[in-house]
Structure 1
Amino acid sequence: MRLSKLKLTGFKSFVDYTTLAFPSNRIGVVGPNGCGKSNVIDAVRWVMGESSAKQLRGSSMSDVIFNGSRNRKAIEQASIELVFENVNVPQYPQQSEIAVKRQISRKGQSVYFINGVRCRRKDITDLFLGTGLGPRSYAIIEQGTISRLIEARPEELRVFFEEAAGISKYKERRKETELRMRHTRENLTRLEDLQNELDKQLAKLKRQAKQATKFQELKKSHHLLKAQLQAIRWHALDIAVQDQQQYIDEQVAVLEKDLLSLQDFDSTHKQQRKAQNIAQSTLTEAQNNFHIIDTAITKLEQNILHANERCEQLQFDLEQVERLQTETSQTLNSDKQQLVKLETNLVDTEALLTIKLESEAMAEQSLQESQNQLEEWQYNWDAFNQRSAEPTQRAQIERARTENLEQRLEQNKQRLQRLQQENDNLDIIELEQVVADLETKIANVKTDLMQAENILTKHYEEVTKLRSITENQSSQLQEQQAEVHKLNGRLASLETLQESALGTNDNDLNAWLQSYGLHDVPRLAQSIKVEAGWEIAVEIVLGTKLQALCIEDMTILQEALLNPPAGKLSLFEIPHHIENNENNTTSLLLNKIQAPWPLSSLLAGVRVADDIKTACQIRKQLAEHESVITSTGLWFGSQWLYSQQEVDENAGILARKQEITKITTKLDSLNVTVQQLTTELEQNRIALYAQENSREQAQQQFNVTQRQEADLQSKHSGKQVQLEHSKAQLQRLNKEQYELTQQISQDEIDLQTTRDKLHTALEEMEILADERDDLTQQRDLYQETVAQTSQIWQSIKDERHKIEVKLESLRTDQSRLQQGIERLQNQLEQLSEQNYDLQQSLIKQSEPLDDMETELLAYQHKKTEAEEILTQAKQTYEHLEATLNDYDGERHRLEAKCTELRADIEQAKMECQANEVRRQGLDEQLAEMEFGPVALLADLPEYADEKSWHAQIEAVERKLEKLGSVNLAALDEFEEQAERKQKLDEQTDDLNKAMQALENAIKTIDRETKTRFKETIDKVNVFLQDMFPRLFGGGEANIQLIGDDILKAGVTIMAHPPGKRNTNIHLLSGGEKALTAIALVFAIFKLNPAPFCMLDEVDAPLDDTNVGRFCALVKAMSETVQFIFISHNKITMEIADQLIGVTMQEAGVSRLVTVDVDMAVSMIN
């Protein structure tokens, strides 16, 4: 993988959508402090799964979302996406790019994506396992990382080497394996608990099965007793209904007699009511006339009162208008006097303003002249600064260049001596032979690996195929077993009903038959076979004879029949003569039955018809002993008809027998299918188990071969790197020696030239110092003049402003007074008009009062006459009403008596209906219990009553209660639990085998981890011994393990800088610690290069010499590793192919400026 792009949205200061492109292997990120450069590093660390807000310089994970600035609101979501060029990533072989994305919202929930597909954080971690990448790996190096690496405890430092060794994925798998082992142990514990619980349940269920059998027998007896009790109650209700019906008839006769008397009263009452209606009309008319006169009087009185009140109000309004006229005239005279004074003051103020404006213009002109002189001086001063800055800057540059050349000349001479020593120590021929031998071994192992992979693929395909077949067969088996279970239930139900219908479950009858040796005798229904569709017809004709016992000779039972069994008994003697079939036709019911003996004695004379129309035609030709029946069960005689329709078409004995036969046949077929499926499923499971074992063996062989190849590749890579490094080092040493020789000569020439330029610049600076003093004195004089003229101009300006404000106030008062005078004059005119209108209204309102008072006296006389007529009409009406009330009283008495009789009749009917409903309810209950009340009453003794039957039921219930709670499904549950126990035992065996396999896997992982870690330590030591001298200009360093157990041993670094003793890294100076840590990280990169390396100001603690060595090493390693570095050092910036500038022109918002260094240089040239 190679990093090509980084896309940020809403992350910290990168609020806008921003894309950082990384087209080359050396990318520099630059910018001032606080502009957001380190947020780029945080973004990469976060998208790779960092879960600690502290590592991202925050207090909570939501702090990575842009939190707003002075000009921008906070946003709700942040998003980071890394885009890699896909090079040999096995998980995504078909894709040219791999995009890893992470989003977070204010709620704190992170969402991860790989190539746009949502995934888990673990999937991101797995993708980078073994590559050196991760949120805290050695691929991301900050100043803090360097500090943590230096100050890390041995066990913490070990983590970096584990990632370099590629065993972090083994550690992850070991954790997963241990987690599975813990879960497996928990499952075993739960299974043991379940097994113990099942043992207890099985013992309990065995006891419950015995109780269930006894319970069912008592329940059957209880059912019969309850049915008989309901029949006793039905009989009592039937008698009560007959008595209540007789009482109702008697009360109805009395009610009819009273209703005739009531009709006579109604005739007389109608005549009296007619006279009352006439009197009521007369009374109503008198009342209406009286009311009209009274209303007219009231209206006149109100009109007179209103006219008086209106005259008083008009007089009051007239007085108010006259008072307002006087006040308005006084106010108008006062405002006119104020206006004259104000106009005089306004003329004086305008003259004063003209004088002040002239003074202000003269002061402003003086100020402008002073400012022009000061601006001319500033122009001269800027020109002088430009002239004086050049020699000063030139002197600073030449002085710094002189110091740099002297220091570089000394360093190059020392470096030339060291290069000569290194050149003498290189040995390349032996390394070339070792690399060739390793390449031969790798080719052989790759061939073995391809063969193992092909075998493993075939095994995987076979396992998948067998597993699919097994799952399909298991599903089919479950469906067939469910169907068998359903049919068995239906069959058991039908057989129970059939036994009940045939009477084979009658214990008394069975005992009687057993005593006379007839218990094996077949029933008639069991011995015959009816043509399909005619079962109902045959069952209606034969009826209870279908329960008949088929015996050879009935005479042998003469003695037995002297003591017949309780209940019903039906016998059929098998005929011994051969039936004559010559006259038989297909129209007889006898021909629809197949039987081992003739049945003409039972079915003689019974014909058949396909439909009712045909049956009716045959019926006309029937003899007295003949009949005809249809397939639907309509049975016609010459003078009779019988029909018996069942709700359930399978309720008949023969239909039920046919269904039992069908179900039995289907069950036999299903059982065969279930057995075949069970056998095939077991065979396929055995084959699947064998194939999975083969696959596991092939997987183990593939893993062993893959590890061999990885080991050889690792060794080859190490030796190849060592060989290439030696060759490159030899070439580099020769080239560097030549370049250093040329550089030393050139530096000596440049040093002399620089010293001459410095001397010239210092002489020019002394001449310019005198001119600076003269210009300073002129500036002070001009500044004082500007200040004085500005003060005078401002004073005059303030006085002018005050006069303008006063003048504006006077003009406002003038306008206000003029408007007030005009308003008062208009108001006086309006008041005069109101005065005239009020006087006219007062005269008009006084005229009609006399006419209204005369009209009022006339209406009062009419009211007295109407009142006398109304009194007489009232007396007549009240007399008639008293007479009607007497008639109504007598009528109400008769009506009350009739109502009481009706209530008694209704009550009796309701009680009768209630008893009928209860009787019908008992009928329905008995029907649900499959009993009839008449049949039950016929079998009961005469002394049977409800109390005695209650006692018998309570006795049975006590026995049931004594049994306690009974589990009726105990037998089925016992079988199910036993089967479950067997499955649990099998699961326990499987889990124990899985535990053994997991323990073996952990041993393999530990063995592989030890080997890889030891090899990694040795290889990193080799690379460190090369990197350390290159960064320090000499010296040596090595890595040591602390502890005997290589799986837990810590790691420490011993360093020996030039001129110092071999010491622990913690005792070095700050710069030496940083260089040692950089050497270690680069050595790890040499062993296991990560796709990229990010450096965040790691050169900050280094001086220029060490920065130069650091940059040379980065430049060399960038041939194989992509470097993205953040720096403020100009020397480091020079090695970048591209520079990405981060700016913050808008407060709190980071933006990018990208520069291609090579393109910029070419443009300059």
Structure 2
Amino acid sequence: MRLTRLEMHGFKSFADLTDMVFDEGVTAIVGPNGCGKSNVSDAVRWVLGEQRARLLRGAKMEEVIFQGSSARRAVNVAEVSLFFANDDGALPVPFQEVVITRRLSRSGESEYFLNRAACRLRDIHDLVRGTGLGADSGVVIESRMIDSLLSDRPDERRELFEEAAGIGLYRDRRRSTERRLEETVNDLARLDDLIGEVQSQTRSLARQRRRAERHAELTERRFGVELTLAAREMEAWKDELAALDARVRELRNQVPVGEKRVHEVERQREQAHGARAAAEAGRAELARLVADQRTAVATLQGEIAVAQERHRNAESRRMRAEEERQEGAAAGARVSRERDEAVRDRAACEAALASGRSALAEATAAEEQARAALAAARAAVEHADASVRSLQDEQRRVLYDRDAAHRESGELAQRLAALDDERARLADAEAAVHRERALVTDAIAMARERVAAAALARETARAAAREARERDAAARGAFARATESHTALEGKASALEALERERVGLAPAAAHLLRERDTFGAGAVLGPLSDFLSASSDAAAMVERYLGASVHAVVVRDHAAADAVRAWHARTNPGPLLLLPLDAAPGGTDAAGSLVNAVSAADPARAWVRALLGQVRSVDNGASFVDARGAVWLPGGNAGAGPLRRRAELFALRAELEASARARDEALRTAELERTAAESAEVGATAADDAHMLAQHELRREEERLAEVGRRLERAERELADAAELAARLTARRAELEERAATATRRAGALDADQGTALLAVAAAREHLGAAERTQDSLRDARTERQVAEAHAQARLQVAADREARLTQEQATTAQRLEQLALELASIAETDGALARQMADWTVNLESRQGQLGDAERRLSDAELAVSTADASLADAEHLLEETRRANMALADELHHDELRLTTLGGRRAAIRERLETEWRKPLEDLMAALVPLDLDSEALRTEADALRQQLEQLGVVNPLAIEEHEEELRRLDFLTTQRNDLSDARAALGQAIREIDATARELFLATFAQVRENFRHIFMTLFGGGECDLRLENPETPLDGDIEIHASPRGKRTQRIHLLSSGERALVALSLLFGIFLTKPSPFCLLDEVDAPLDDNNIGRFVRMLNEFKSRTQFIVITHNPRTTTEAADAVYGVTMQEPGVSSLVSVRMKGAAVEEEAVAVGAA
């Protein structure tokens, strides 16, 4: 097995289809930095299933798709394919060539293909397992792996060894097992809590049983009282109901007659309404016609008025255009003359501008010379001024120091006086603080007493809250159990319903016949006999034992249907089958005392049921049966439940479901009440906690106040000492200030003399400066005059040029306007003629329309008279209809009142029925049949009923199933105990599994470590030509957790730590170890990505020798910058360049004396 080709399309820097062919030996890939060489290694890693974008030098997986360049658009799909020659059958597929492909689109959809057929990544992993390939194998060796081996982080180094040993799976299993162990321990804890709760519930159910028995006695007495009262009330309503029923029937006959009369009157009213509508429609049509004619007349009149106005406007426009044309001709002549004058003015302004610019240049040069002389004079004045200012500043400072010393001395005298007062005040404050400390000490004692009382109240409230929480937990447990029981019943019922729908348990032949019943025609095959039977569980079991296989018989319509089924049975041979034709069912069977009384049979199979079960009675509790002939049937055995028993069980389950739902609702109400009580207790506990916290807060506040008083006392004592010290310092400072003031007075007198000399020098410098400024001002005025003259000439030139251009434009505009006026006059004449013709036509049409309008108005008056007549007829019909409806409404009201009374009495009877049936859960007839009337008057019965109701309410809600629940809780307790034992066993088993996983992983790791160690030594000797090297475990007792140390001493050196070697030697040591790891799980090929970068020429030679030694066993693809690697070891070379920015080009060269072949292929940008 070997790698033959690599195809890339749209992957990183390979946008177009790129094909790289690999032969045996070494293939080198070279090129400058940034041209996309390392994208080849990324492509190999990616196609083998790498899922981590970080290892592909990206932030997300979509970044492997070509992103576009300055000249190309981005593509939407990246695809890479690896081609393998499978001549030796290393891959378990029947193909000579195997192609692995991965495709990714920008939508995030990732696809894998095996020989162009879609597959899963897991399928590819299964295919290459054992071959050394895979995303996490050592098929790609990069420079970063050298860094990982040489780094100070032991986990990175260990990761390479664990990948080679393949113990990652065992680590995952160990973590999974530890999680399961933790879950098991948690389950055990929860189960212990649940067992404690169940034990408590068992004790509670024992108490509930006694209350349930008392509740049953009171309920039985209340049953007799309530039903006796209900029977008497319903008997009292019997006569009134009969009278109401007769009157309602009579009214129901009279109301339809009245409604018929109403319908007849309504038809008369509708006829009158139709006549009125017809008259109104005629009038509306004529009104619309009149309105249309009036609108047309008004429109024509408006059009004629508009046309007349347009004619006047056209005449006015013609006159204005003629006047404007005459004025335009005169303006054109004037503009021509003014333009000639503007040309002459512009020429004169240009000559004046040239003369002014020459004079300005001469004035500017003279001014520059004067400005230089003025600057020198100003410098001399500033120097003299600076000397004077320096002397004045010093004098001011001296005088300021003298005044400041006098002021500060006076202030110190005042401060000393104030300080004496402050010392007296501080002494008084110290005495007050001593008194306050005594008061705070008493307050702290009282606060501690309040904290103790609040703590006691808090503990009491917390105890009450704990009890309420326990009751709440018990109520919630009861609700959970009720819900669990209800859910279990629902699941069982659903399962039975599914079995019933799918007819599981029916004989195969019968089930086959029912699936094909439609082939015999509608109604030919009616169904299995069990569909027409229903019974209780015990009766169903007896019937199934007696009938045996006959319970699977199929009922058919007649003998013809039976014959059709018999023919089908002969063709298909589905197995034994019993048919029951309806026309062959025997009749007249005596059912007295027979098994048939225990079941309920439905038509049309009732005759067959009576025939099969009639005169058969069960003996020995259904263990045997005796028929009418005296024959005894002993079924024997205990067959599984059949369709009859399953249906009976389903009916029983539905009843249990209703009871379970009621129990669950009652448990929910109890849980809500207990939760409310628990919340109230929690509120009380919280209030007690708050009170305790408040008392503690007050105590802390008083203690803090005491500490504050202590601090204030210390501060008062400290301030008294500070005041005494400050008084001494202030006295010394005052003497020092008086000496400084005297010294300043003497220095101020000396400075006055120096200032007089400096002022004389300043006066001389200022006189010289004034002469220089006057000269410079005169020259500046001359230059300014020249500048003004030059600007005036420039402005006159610009005005002349603008005037010339404006007049030229105005001349052209005037000529264009004259042409437009000529065209406008011609258009006005043509439009005015057409308007005159149109006005004539409109005048004729207006006279015709006015005649039609008069005729339509006369017809409209006649139509309005007809509408008035129809309105009168409609009003008469409406009055008659109202009287008829009023009479019929009286009958309907009486009927409604009687029906309402009848419904009320019936509703009361129904309410009594519903209340009794709901409360006692039986039909009223069955309740009355079971009633033994009580011989007491009604008032005594009502009093007793109230008393019984109060006793039941005082007794509260009881659990009528306490005995069954107690037994069920005992069984549940046994079950939970068994579960706890099972979990304990599971905990021990998981611990044993973890120990076995550790042992297996340790064995694999040590075996791999020994093999890597041996390979490392051999390759080290090959690369270095001698020396010593070794791999050591930091702690051999825990090989799976300790660090792995690398020791290496090249020939001639004694150093053991690789960090002391040169960078090239360290790289060779890392390469030796990487190849040692690679050889433990050799792959068909190995890709080396710039691993020779840190090597010098000598080490490159060793690296090349290693490649030459191993290339006979493994293909090598080397991405490199080193020419020696290319020339000495490579059998073929691919060059990667970027002839187009952002787009690579691939050039292949065959080495080793073969024919040189070059090929350039454009590939996509990264």
Taking structure 1 as the reference length, the TM-score comes to 0.49
